[in-house]
A and B are shown apart, each in its own frame.
Chain A
């Protein structure tokens, strides 16, 4: 784009972010402060993810951007367009074609590969913030691995509700050392982070933190031996492709209680439909 550097950021800023990324990879799950810049998109709308993507992206990369698992949600479109304009990179909606995937709130259903990088947009990198708002205090807790507060919270959940009540942004322990926010992905996606072949990078622009999980790294959702972590999902197959192993969106179809469940990962769903899989709602439609 005229008047701006490749991928918008100037080289000086990219170097600063790159230095932070390398430290983040060397200390899996640790939040590295970085000199986050004002971006032409609002804070809270993916500025951290955008800065990380801009710092790693090269001319030969193929970029996929998803929000809520979908390539066509407005914010995903807006961010994809930003990089198409400022970096001129090839973009795709196909998970397997992408070399860099920027995401908000989901991990694709298709297992990522060794040579892919997934960049998460993170609104709140501090997993303890609901329990301790002071970042001076939480920094000390991370230094001491003092995560008792979180265990007590989970304990209280089980005591009150018989189960852990966190359904998204479910805290994980990375490489047996750092408590980490997986970003607000549904707990359903947490197991995908464990021993993932791809590199996982996390950018929090407003909070000015970067963190990372190298490939093949242990990522454990916090739980108890006798109350193991369990992810939940709607008990239905996808209405369009019949998938039973994907995370589902609930779509309200009328004002008389009508609803259907469809894959949140739009690429996964359409690939399956192309391959001939049809869900119950697809059959019904065909019959009509």
Chain B
């Protein structure tokens, strides 16, 4: 068979895209799904895509979900890629969740409190029984609504704060960082950490938060308060000098209250783990609050041993757009590198076989000396003088071709033999430094 180099990548891509479009639409006798249907009836999916896509726009999120056939990470990715092309007109004032139009508000640490416990549209206390009536077109449902309560609904940690029982988190006297503009650097401050968590993968944060509850960095959390509802967004144009309301967005906020035994300078008090996400995403907000608190371990003088307390580990791995890209890039062609590995393995196997052959010859010579220690090592160990010989690298073996290396004399300035003797003298091999300094 004659080999012909693969051509036509472009046509293959076009055909794949056409096929994708066909499968996306599916059976044409089934009505096409509209964006308002997704926005309204798959609202939790829309919330998650807005959060991880880092863009609050229900309609675009619905479009992304439709385009991605319901693959929510793919949908979040579509939203992120679109987001980067948007110009920035203004920076908003911080939202004030104390002034939220609350749809749900619960506290696990007080039986009752000003404003009351408001269950809201929750799955809590539903029995997880498949509802076969939903399979038919269900009748319109109207929930009974209480008259809107305009009574104050203070945030529970604020109530604790009046007594000084919980730490105060002061406003930073600077603009918060933005890791979509500046790359993450360490040590990462809490503002940037919270931003990373708010954009982070729900599943990853859930698992990490869960791990803290099972002893990997636990901090004795209580769900101080979870609230969900609409907050106003305000901007303050420089030419006006006062803030104007430009719209609402729905967010879920979770404040975990955690033990802290105090230190020399700080009396015992509760500390806070904070979660805030777009839409109604309670699981994510709670997980975020657990992980936020876990990442404060070092700041609060606690041991940092668990994965959730390792800031670098959490922040570098929480973004599912980064993660999915890199995991999935393994399906791209890697045959050049694989070929180099193939040649390398063949070369090493040849070397092993050759050494074994030599060993067999030597053994037959020494056959009388049964007391001699036999070795199964197939290559000389560093202590043997054979190390400084030119190895099989330059041999024209059957499995590899050796190419010239660094042109001119070899060596970046280190002698392997010398390194061996250096290693004998230096207790910690990791501390051997500076190949540049050790020139000829």
Contact = CB atoms under 8 A, between A and B. Distances in A.
A247 interface: yes
Nearest to A239: B3
Given A81-B10, A235-B397, A184 B332 contact: no
B433 A147 contact: yes
A60 interface: no
B436 A173 contact: yes
A134 B8 CA distance: 42
A185 B337 CA distance: 7
B437 interface: yes
Q: Which 5 A-B pairs have the closest CB atoms?
A: A228-B410, A43-B325, A44-B329, A224-B416, A225-B411
B326 A38 contact: no
A191 to B, nearest CB: 6
A281 interface: yes
A109 B166 CA distance: 66
Contact of A145 (B339, B423, B433): B433
Interface stretch (B214-222, B344-352, B365-373): B344-352
Contact of B411 (A206, A209, A223): A223
Given A186-B337, A233-B343, A35 B182 contact: yes
Interface in B21-69: none
Contacts of A177: 436
Given A44-B326, A230-B402, 17 more contacts: A33-B183, A43-B329, A68-B335, A77-B13, A144-B434, A152-B430, A186-B339, A191-B403, A223-B406, A223-B411, A224-B417, A225-B409, A229-B405, A229-B410, A234-B339, A240-B5, A250-B342
B436 A163 contact: no
Interface stretch (A94-102, A111-119, A154-162): A154-162
A259 B354 CA distance: 25
Contacts of A250: 339, 342
Interface string B421-435: 001000001111111
Interface residues of A, number: 104
A271 interface: no
B77 A42 contact: yes
A235 B403 CA distance: 10
A144 B388 contact: no
Contacts of B185: 33
Nearest to B344: A167
Interface in A259-285: 260, 262, 264, 266, 269, 281, 285
A173 to B, nearest CB: 5
A158 B404 CA distance: 19
A239 B321 CA distance: 42
Nearest to B354: A162
B71 interface: no
Given A38-B321, A145-B433, A187 B340 contact: yes
A39 interface: yes
Contacts of A44: 325-329
B84 A37 contact: yes
Interface residues of B, number: 98
Contact of A232 (B382, B403, B415): B403
Contacts of B402: 230-232
B341 interface: yes
B392 interface: yes
Nearest to B420: A155
A215 interface: no
A213 interface: no
Interface string B371-415: 000000001111000011011111011111111111101111111
A281 B180 CA distance: 53
Interface string B2-19: 110111111011000000
Contacts of A147: 433-435
Contact of A10 (B7, B85, B407, B423): B85
A220 B12 CA distance: 40
B170 interface: no
Interface of A: 4, 8, 10, 13, 33-40, 42-45, 47, 67-70, 72-78, 81, 104-106, 123, 134-136, 144-149, 151-152, 155, 158-163, 165, 167-169, 173, 176-177, 179, 184-188, 190-191, 194, 206, 208-209, 220-236, 239-240, 247-251, 253-254, 258, 260, 262, 264, 266, 269, 281, 285
Contacts of A148: 429-433
A104 B412 CA distance: 26
A105 B336 contact: yes
Nearest to B186: A136
A15 B400 CA distance: 46
B168 interface: no
A35 B411 CA distance: 37
B312 A134 contact: yes
A83 to B, nearest CB: 14
Contacts of A146: 431, 433-434
A167 B404 CA distance: 14
A248 B186 CA distance: 42
Given A38-B81, A160-B379, A191-B406, A234 B336 contact: no
B181 interface: yes
Contact of B396 (A13, A223, A235, A264): A235
Contacts of A161: 348, 351, 379
A45 B329 contact: yes
A250 B336 CA distance: 9
A266 B5 contact: yes
B87 interface: yes
Contacts of B109: none
A227 B402 CA distance: 13
A68 B312 CA distance: 33
A208 B387 CA distance: 41
B200 to A, nearest CB: 15
A226 B391 CA distance: 9
B128 interface: no
B411 A235 contact: no
Nearest to A12: B87
B83 interface: yes
A247 B336 contact: yes
Contacts of A233: 343, 400-401, 403
A135 B186 CA distance: 9
B90 to A, nearest CB: 15
Contacts of B302: none
B395 to A, nearest CB: 10
B379 A75 contact: no
Given A186-B336, A233-B401, A42 B329 contact: yes
A108 B436 CA distance: 29
B436 A145 contact: yes
A114 B326 CA distance: 33
